[in-house]
Amino acid sequence: MKRIKQLNNRLANQIAAGEVVERPASVVKELLENSLDSECRRIDITLEAGGTRLIRVRDDGIGIVKDDLQLALSRHATSKIEEIADLNAVSTLGFRGEALASIASVSRLYLTSNASDDHQNGWKVTVAGEGLSAELSPAPHPRGTTLEVKDLFFNTPARRKFLRTERTEFQRIEDIVRKMALSHPKVGFYLTHDGKIVRQYPACQSEAEMDRRISSVFGKTFIENALYFEEEKHGIQLKGWIGLPTYSRSQADQQYFFVNGRTIRDKLVTHAVKQGYSDVLYHGRNPVFALFLSLHPSMVDVNVHPTKHEVRFRESREVHDFIFRTIHHVLADTRPQDQVEAAASTIDLGALPAQSNIVFQRPGTGSAAVGGGAISELPRHYGHILAQEPSADEAARSFQSLPDDGTVPPLGYALAQLHGIYILAENARGLVLVDMHAAHERITYERMKHASAAEGVKTQPLLVPISIAISSQEGSLVEEYAAHFEELGFDIQLASEESLLVRGIPALLSRSNTEQLLRDVLSDFLEYGSTLRIQEHKDEILSTMACHGSVRANRRLTIPEMNALLRDMEDTERSGQCNHGRPTWTELSVAELDSLFLRGR
């Protein structure tokens, strides 16, 4: 056998570089994190050949003093932690002290910095793969730091072969800059590639400027189709923008999640967000969002991966439930009026042609212009369109009045029914089209869920208890989450270390595969610290019942029945989508209708 010996510094750094420096985008990420930690207000990124020939990152931060320049390029040299306790509450983006040494080992690196306000006090140090240069040289530079990385992997050609095309490598860098721009709105980011300015994200000083930055990342229509929220509980804050369920994508390419300003990928977070969108997202579609989670640094471990893309939450169950419930409630609280108001805020109503004055008229009556005069009450009862005639009490509860103060409801007033499928209505902005079955299905479904929640989860005892073989790890979960299993409607007990006895199951799920359901619940507790399996199965059953109990296509409705359905939509949670995630309504503004007929041209 060969004898054990110490690796030389060059080889050790190149091995470390294999973990930290995967491609040009990795270099840009590390350098941007250092700049952001330096309290800068502007960062300029200059690239050549997708970053393979040149990466230059310049900031206006606090800079590095002359005596620390050479040390900054040494391995495990950092100003951000001093002792092991500091790792328990890391508040900076960088902290390992590996990045610059690793980058320097596989490139030609030039570091210039100035920690004073005198431009002449700048200093420069150069590294070319082999080690630090022997001398520092004066280099005029404003306060801040410039790092140039040239000829990446020039001394490790095998690594260079794994790089993609210049275009692909640049796109990866562009994505890194985009994420940094989202997480640090008060910093300006300017990206240049091969002499051309590609992206500019000026520092945000107002809400309007932040909206512009969000739009520049997601596209102009995102703000119009997104909900902004802020929620805080037990020292954890979640804020950001979530796209409406109807504004979804076939790929999960516009999902950004940040923890204390750090972009991360985490299966716990992904699962929580997915659960938040349950019931409203069409099958196979992916939501769009930019979410920012803030919590005390001691509650999150960022030292679990060299690239710092992953984190570990110390209270994972609490974080998971907080994210899920927040998104779930934000989406549930959205009503048609919110979407109508959001759309109206993007339209210059004063620019509409005079011919677009909207007048509301019901068949057989006079008309009432917008804002003028009271509108008489209309019966609000469409119960008889169901398969079963409602009771007198149900009919009385469903009979209500429309607004009598001259205001126009968000979904307006019904005009007609099209092909027995769609309701056509007129609101203050134009034409509203409603899929009556989809809308009524959601209304029925939500009412059934509320009724079920009020009754609680009932347990159905089994005539013959079921014995299930489990692992010792699963047995520990049964003991740890005993109270939760009882809340979910299970009556279970450990028969031995590897055997579980099921005496009762949730009544609504009596036809489910008991063993598979229980194993799924155990799996969720193990991975996420919580489970929504029972609720999901219940909702699935209620959804099927609601679908069968809703008004069908080709069923003719009267104008009062259509108006009643519109009012219920305005009062119902998640009424923008049916139980399967399909949209229930859409709107065409007068301006959009005018454009279809080339009016005003």
Q: Within this chain, do residues 295 and 383 fall inside the same structural domain, yes or no?
A: no
The C-alpha atoms of residue 31 and residue 102 are separated, in whole angstroms, by: 12
How far apart (Å, rounded) are the C-alpha atoms in residues 360 and 94? 61
Q: Which of the listed residues 286, 301, 334 is the one where a domain comes to its end?
A: 334
Residue with more model confidence, 234 or 549: 234
For residue 186, tell me if it sits in a domain.
yes
| Same domain, residue pair 408 and 319 | no
110 vs 520: CA distance, rounded Å: 54
Alpha helices (H) along 282-378 = 316-332, 336-344
Does 512 fall in a domain? yes
Is the CB of residue 52 less than 8 Å from the CB of residue 106? no
CA angle 490, 495, 496 (to 5 degrees): 130
State the chain's mean pLDDT as an integer.
83
Q: How confident is the model at residue 394 (pLDDT cuts 50, 70, 90)?
A: very low
Look at the chain and report how many structural domains it folds into.
Answer: 3
Do 281 and 425 reside in the same domain of the chain? no
Same domain, 585 and 509: yes
CATH of the domain at 285: 3.30.230.10
| Judgement on whether residues 558 and 486 belong to the same structural domain of the protein | yes
Specify whether 152 is located in the same domain as 229: no
Query: What's the predicted TM-score (pTM) here?
Result: 0.75
Q: Is the pLDDT of residue 471 over 70?
A: yes
CA 50 to chain centre: 29
The domain boundary, picked from 182, 201, 220, lies at 201
Question: 388 lies in which domain range?
Answer: 358-601
Query: Tell me: the pLDDT tens digits for 151-194?
Result: 999 988 888 888 999 999 999 999 999 999 999 999 999 999 99
Label the pairing between strands 144-150 and 137-138: unpaired
DSSP state of 355: G
pLDDT, tens digit, 9 for 90 and up, residues 418-459:
988 999 999 999 999 999 999 999 998 898 888 777 877 788
Give the confidence band of 514 by pLDDT, cuts at 50, 70, 90: confident
* Helix or strand (DSSP H, E) at 58: strand 54-59
**Which helix (H) or strand (E) element contains residue 290?**
strand 289-294
Would 498 be classed as within a structural domain?
yes
pLDDT of residue 406: 60
Q: Would you state the pLDDT for residue 302?
A: 82
Residue 387 has pLDDT above 50, yes or no: no
Cβ–Cβ under 8 Å, residues 34 and 180: no
Q: Quickly state the pLDDT bin for 365 (edges 50, 70, 90).
A: very low
- Summarised one tens digit per residue, pLDDT across range 530-544 is 777 777 777 777 777
> What backbone phi and psi angles, to 5 degrees, belong to 555?
-90, 120
Q: What's phi and psi for 523, nearest 5 deg?
A: -65, -40
Query: Domain with 411 in it: what CATH number?
Result: 3.30.1370.100
DSSP state of 317: H
Confidence of residue 343 (pLDDT cuts 50, 70, 90): low
For β-strands 413-418 and 422-426, DSSP reports them as: antiparallel
